[in-house]
Copies of this chain bind each other. A is one copy, B any other.
Amino acid sequence: MSKKTTIYDIAKKLNITAATVSRALNNNPKISEATRELVLKTAAKMNYEQNRLAQALKSGKSYNVGVIVPRIDSNFFASVIRGIEEELYPMGYHVIICQTHDQKSLELTNINSLLNAQVDGVIMSVSNVNDADIVNPDTDTKVIEDDIFNNLIKKNVPLIFFDRKKDIKGVSSVVIDDFKGAYDATQHLIDQGKKRIAHLSNNRDMEIFKNRYLGYKQALIDNGIEFDESLVIECYSKVPDGRKVTQKLLAMETPPDAIFSVSDFSALGAIKEILDQGLRIPEDISVVGFSNEPFTKFMELSITSVDQSPTEMGRIAAKVFLEEVENGNNVKSEKHVVLSPELMIRKSSLSKSSAITV
Contact = CB atoms under 8 A, between A and B. Distances in A.
Given A78-B73, A275-B300, A94 B118 contact: no
A116 B75 contact: no
Interface string A99-117: 1000000000000011111
Interface of A: 1, 4, 44, 47, 49-54, 56-57, 62-64, 71-75, 78-79, 81-82, 85, 89, 94-97, 99, 113-118, 138, 154-156, 239, 268, 271-272, 275, 295, 298-301, 329
A54 B57 contact: yes
A53 B56 contact: yes
B85 A117 contact: no
A275 B44 CA distance: 58
Contact of A300 (B51, B75, B95, B300): B300
A1 B268 CA distance: 47
Given A118-B52, A298-B239, A89 B113 contact: yes
Contacts of A50: 116
A71 B82 CA distance: 9
A37 to B, nearest CB: 16
Nearest to A118: B53
Given A1-B155, A85-B99, A53 B49 contact: no
A78 B82 contact: no
Number of chain copies forming the complex? 2
Contacts of A81: 72
Contacts of A156: 1
B89 A78 contact: no
A57 B47 contact: no
Contact of A72 (B72, B275, B301): B72
Given A4-B155, A49-B115, A113-B89, A300 B272 contact: yes
Contacts of A155: 1, 4
Contacts of A53: 53, 56-57, 62, 118
B71 A73 contact: no
Contacts of A79: 73
30 contacts: A1-B156, A47-B138, A49-B116, A51-B118, A52-B116, A53-B53, A53-B56, A53-B62, A53-B118, A54-B57, A57-B57, A64-B117, A71-B78, A72-B72, A72-B73, A73-B75, A73-B79, A78-B78, A94-B96, A94-B114, A95-B96, A96-B97, A97-B97, A239-B298, A271-B300, A272-B298, A272-B300, A295-B295, A295-B298, A300-B300
A170 B4 CA distance: 21
Contacts of A94: 96, 113-114, 117
A304 B62 CA distance: 46
Given A1-B156, A72-B72, 5 more contacts: A49-B116, A52-B116, A73-B73, A275-B300, A295-B295
A56 B116 CA distance: 12
Contacts of A99: 82, 85
A51 B57 contact: yes
A300 B273 CA distance: 10
